[in-house]
Structure 1
Amino acid sequence: MSPAERLRARIAETGLVHVMAAHSPLSAILAEEAGFDGLWASGFELSALYGLADMSLITMTQHLDVLRAMAARTSLPIVADIDTGYGNAINVVYAIREYERAGASAVVIEDKTFPKVTSLAAGGRQELLRVEEFQGKIEAAIATRGDPAFLVIARTEALIAGLGQSEALHRANAYREAGADMILIHSKKKNPSEIEGFSRAWTGAVPLVIVPNAYPELDAARVKALGNIRMMIYGNYGIRAATTAMQEIFRRIIADGGVQNVHKDILPVEEIFRLQKMDEVKVAETRFLR
C-alpha cells in the first residue's frame, strides 16, 4: 500500500485519525514514536522555525525540502499544508506534482487569496477567493494527482473571515462538487460552538477535518459523537512545545550562570543518539570501514 492508501485505510479502520504538526525530521520521528496516525507538514510551524510570520513568506521549495526530509525519516503519511496552492490553478497543478513526488499523502488547500495571513492572528486580513475560482483549484488538484488515493482536502476559511455558517456550508458544498475528498472547517472562536454547529448542519457526502487549536476542549470523544469528522490536526503544538522548552531552559542557564542545574532536567545526549540511529551507524562502521 502507498502511504496515501494507508492513510485512507487508517481513517476507515478507526473512524478518526490524529495528525500531529511537524516542522523537521526530528519532530516527525517524535510524533511517530508517540503514536500519531499521520503528520501535518505545517506552514505555520515552518514559518516559525525560520522566525517569520505565517504570511506566504516561506517558499514552496523550502516547504518541499523539509517535507522530503521528514518523509525520509518516518513511515507516517504526511498531510501537506500548502496554504493557497502558491498561486492560481496552474500553480496548483505544479504543486500537486511536486508534493506527491516529495512523499506527501494529502494536501490541504485553503480558499484565501494569495498571499494569505495566518487564520488565528487577531485582526488579520482574511480575504476569500471567488467560489468558482477555488473550485478550479480543487479540480486542478484532482486531475493532476497520480495516485488516486492521494487526498485533496479543501479548507474553507468562511468562519475565520466572519461570513457565518451559511456561507461556510455553501462553499464546502461547492468544493465537494469540485471533487474534494474532505472538507477542513476552521474557526477562531475560543469555544467549539461554530465547529459543532457546522458539523451538525453538514449533509455532504465527504467527511470533515478540524484543527482544534483555539478550542482544545473539543476532544476525540466529542468529535466522534458528531459523526462526520474523520481527521483531527494538531496544528501548531509541535513548535509551541519546542519553544516552551527552549525558552525555559535558555532562561535558566542565564539565570544560573551555567548549565549546572538544567543538565539534569533535559534528555541525555544518549537519547539524541538513539533518535539519530547511531547504533546503525556503528554497525556500518564495523562492517565497512577498513
Structure 2
Amino acid sequence: MMTDRSTLRRLMAEKETVITCGCGDAISAKIINEVDGFDGVLSSGFTLAAMAMGLPDAELYSRSDNVYAVSNMCYVLDKPLIADIDTAYGNAVTTIKTVNDFERAGASGVVIEDQISPKRCPICVTDLNTTISAEEAAGKIRAAAENRLYKDTLIIARTDITNVEERNRRAQMYLEAGADLVQGISKSYTASGNMVENIKQFVDAMDGRVSLVVCGGLDSLTRKDIEYIKPKICHFALVPINYMYPALRKAIEFVGENHEQAGIPLEKANHSELVNFLGMSKIGEQEKKYIPQIDC
C-alpha cells in the first residue's frame, strides 16, 4: 500500500497537531491504518524490541532488524509512518546510510536521538544514558537533512538532555542543522513545576516545531492539554504494547492453568473477521486474476 511521501508534510500544513499511534509490528500498524482518529504511525523502538525479541529498549536489535520491521509495517499502510531509528547506529556518515535505508523501506520521517550508542530508553532506567556532544549530534542531523533521498522526508531530532537550558540550546542547534522538528524526553518536562506548562514553554520556545511523545510521565496528558500545548506532532507511542501485554499474559496464564481455552476472561477474535481483516479474500481474488486455471 504505502503512502505518498508528501502526505505527512501536507497533514502538518493542514492540521494544528498531527496525531500518530506507536507500534512495533505490522498487525498493529494495519489496525491503526483503519482508525480514523490517527493521521499516521510511529514505529516504536520500545515496542519493536518487546514484541519482536522480548527484550528491553536498549538498542539490542540491529539496523537491519529495525528496517525489516518498518518495511513490513509500511507494506500494510496507506498512512505515513515515522521511524524511530535510535542513534542512527553510528556517526554522521553512518547516519546517512541509516536514513536512506528507512526511506527505501517506506518511512516518511525518522527520529534520531543524541544518546551514545548503544542507547537505553529513558523511561526504562532511573539513571539516564550519556549523550554525545551537541556539536556531534548536530553534525548527524545535518548529514541526515542534506543527504535524505526525498525532500519530503521528515527529520525529527530528539535530545535526551533533561536540563531545560541545555535541552533548549541543543534543540535550537538541531533545528539550525536542518531538523524539521525537535523532541524532548518526558523526564525533561516532569522534573519540577507544572508538566503541562513545562511542555508548552518548550513548544513556544521552538516556535511550535516540536514532536511530543505521550509516554512515561506524560501518560496523564488529556486531549484538552494537548490542544493547549499545540505540538506539531503528538505520538501515543506505547498504546498497543501497554494494553496487549496484560491481555496476552492473562490468556496464556489461563490456558496454562486450566489446559483449555473455554472460559478465558477476555474477548476472543471472531475467526472469520480476523481472516478478512488480514486480507485473505484479496489473496483469493489475486489467485483467480493472475494464476491460470488448468484442467487436469
Amino acid at match of 1:177: E
**Counterpart of 2:6 in 1: which secondary structure?**
helix
Q: Which residue of structure 2 aligns with residue 267 of structure 1?
A: 269
Q: Which residue of structure 2 aligns with residue 108 of structure 1?
A: 111
- Equivalent-residue separation in structure 2 for 1:263 and 1:55 (angstroms): 34
% identical aligned pairs:
27
For the structure 1 residues 31 and 2, does the alpha-carbon distance in structure 2 shift closer, same or farther, using more than 3 Å as the test? closer
Q: Which residue of structure 2 aligns with residue 89 of structure 1?
A: 92
For the structure 1 residues 251 and 101, does the alpha-carbon distance in structure 2 shift closer, same or farther, using more than 3 Å as the test? same
**Counterpart of 1:3 in 2: which secondary structure?**
coil
* Contact 1:185-1:195 within 8 A present in 2 as well: no
Q: Which residue of structure 1 aligns with residue 120 of structure 2?
A: 117
**Counterpart of 1:262 in 2: which secondary structure?**
coil
**Counterpart of 2:5 in 1: which secondary structure?**
helix
Q: Using the TM superposition, give the Cα deviation of residue 240 of structure 1 relative to its aligned residue in structure 2, in angstroms.
A: 2.1
- Equivalent-residue separation in structure 2 for 1:193 and 1:263 (angstroms): 40
Q: Please, which of 275, 278, 281 is the counterpart of residue 279 of structure 1? A: 281
Q: Using the TM superposition, give the Cα deviation of residue 289 of structure 1 relative to its aligned residue in structure 2, in angstroms.
A: 5.3
Q: Which residue of structure 1 aligns with residue 50 of structure 2?
A: 48
TM-score by structure 1 length? 0.91
- Equivalent-residue separation in structure 2 for 1:153 and 1:195 (angstroms): 21
**Counterpart of 1:86 in 2: which secondary structure?**
coil
Q: Please, which of 223, 227, 251 is the counterpart of residue 226 of structure 2? A: 223
* Contact 1:176-1:206 within 8 A present in 2 as well: no
For the structure 1 residues 282 and 212, does the alpha-carbon distance in structure 2 shift closer, same or farther, using more than 3 Å as the test? same
Q: Which residue of structure 2 aligns with residue 77 of structure 1?
A: 80
**Counterpart of 1:265 in 2: which secondary structure?**
coil
Amino acid at match of 2:232: R
- Equivalent-residue separation in structure 2 for 1:19 and 1:168 (angstroms): 24
Which deviations, in whole Å up to 9, do the C-alpha atoms of 1:169-209 show, x marking residues without a partner? 11111111111100112213399934632432543345111
Amino acid at match of 1:110: E
Q: Using the TM superposition, give the Cα deviation of residue 132 of structure 1 relative to its aligned residue in structure 2, in angstroms.
A: 0.5
**Counterpart of 1:114 in 2: which secondary structure?**
coil
- Equivalent-residue separation in structure 1 for 2:191 and 2:240 (angstroms): 20
Amino acid at match of 1:53: P
* Contact 1:118-1:124 within 8 A present in 2 as well: no
**Counterpart of 2:150 in 1: which secondary structure?**
coil
For the structure 1 residues 147 and 203, does the alpha-carbon distance in structure 2 shift closer, same or farther, using more than 3 Å as the test? same
State the 4+ residue runs in structure 1 displaced beyond 4 angstroms: none
Amino acid at match of 2:91: N
Q: Which residue of structure 2 aligns with residue 130 of structure 1?
A: 133
CA RMSD of aligned residues (A): 2.1
Amino acid at match of 2:227: K
Which deviations, in whole Å up to 9, do the C-alpha atoms of 1:258-287 show, x marking residues without a partner? 012139831121122112211112223444
- Equivalent-residue separation in structure 1 for 2:134 and 2:266 (angstroms): 55
* Contact 2:247-2:266 within 8 A present in 1 as well: no
Residue 9 (structure 1) aligned with residue 10 (structure 2): yes
Q: Which residue of structure 2 aligns with residue 256 of structure 1?
A: 258
For the structure 1 residues 166 and 92, does the alpha-carbon distance in structure 2 shift closer, same or farther, using more than 3 Å as the test? same
Amino acid at match of 2:95: V
Q: Which residue of structure 1 aligns with residue 25 of structure 2?
A: 24
Q: Which residue of structure 1 aligns with residue 155 of structure 2?
A: 152
Q: Which residue of structure 1 aligns with residue 39 of structure 2?
A: 37
Amino acid at match of 1:222: D
TM-score by structure 2 length? 0.89
Q: Using the TM superposition, give the Cα deviation of residue 211 of structure 1 relative to its aligned residue in structure 2, in angstroms.
A: 0.9
- Equivalent-residue separation in structure 1 for 2:244 and 2:192 (angstroms): 25
Which deviations, in whole Å up to 9, do the C-alpha atoms of 1:129-183 show, x marking residues without a partner? 1110001000000011121111000001112xxxx21111111111111111001
* Contact 1:54-1:118 within 8 A present in 2 as well: yes
Identify unmatched segments of 5+ residues in structure 1.
Answer: none
Q: Which residue of structure 2 aligns with residue 177 of structure 1?
A: 176
